[in-house]
Structure 1
Amino acid sequence: MKERIVEKYEDFKTALKRLEEGISIQPDKDIIMDGAIQRFEFVFELSWKLMREYLKYTGLEINNPRTVIKYAYQNGIIEDGDKWLKMLSDRNMTSHLYNQKMAYEIYQNIKLEYVELFRKLLLKFEEIIISEL
């Protein structure tokens, strides 16, 4: 179980680095913004599954991202549950419909808010791995 958490952490860390690279490029073409959004989707999936794996390790069996986010907040894994739920909503929108204006707004949210939330989660799991696992 501990190994799975560390493995998911490493995958998340690598994907976050790729997302950071993606948003560092000026989105002068739609394809650049689309690529960054796709990287965001991937990082989000890895983030909630990492939290799910840790919650499972602590005895909580949860299988959907909304509930994982709520329990992660209650258990001090993440600090801002509302922003994470907003991020989940944006992630779901990117999967179900495409609108250029909405895509740009989500891209801005990724750059201005979501990457920082991911960074905080990464730091939290660095602490967890050092102290608990």
Structure 2
Amino acid sequence: MLAFKIFPQCMCNSDEKIMQTMDFLVNKLGWESEAAARFPNIFSLSFEKRVVPRCSVLQLLRLRGLIDDMPCLGTFLCPTENWFKEKFVVEYPDDIQAELLDLYERRVNVVDFRTMAVEDVKSRS
């Protein structure tokens, strides 16, 4: 109900798209469902081109210890691509910047970072 009050257009999205996004954010990444409800415009974003790549970048930063806590969903999903790259890719050291950019621009399949050990991430480098 909160999502509809904030962004009524979210009801224009298919049930499948909403469920796909919620499943990814809540079950795969561990976000609270209320976090998504506060930013219902995220259901209008491209799942494959925006949600997955940006979440993957932030999860990698978190696993590497470069950020302590995940920012709120609206902070990193809603802004422009240039802003996101400046804030979450370009500002990091060159050694990880290349990996972040590669991860972001490849728009790879969903990676469940919650089950991946930090050593596994380091071995991919």
Task: Give TM-score, length-normalised by structure 2.
Answer: 0.30
Task: Give TM-score, length-normalised by structure 1.
Answer: 0.29
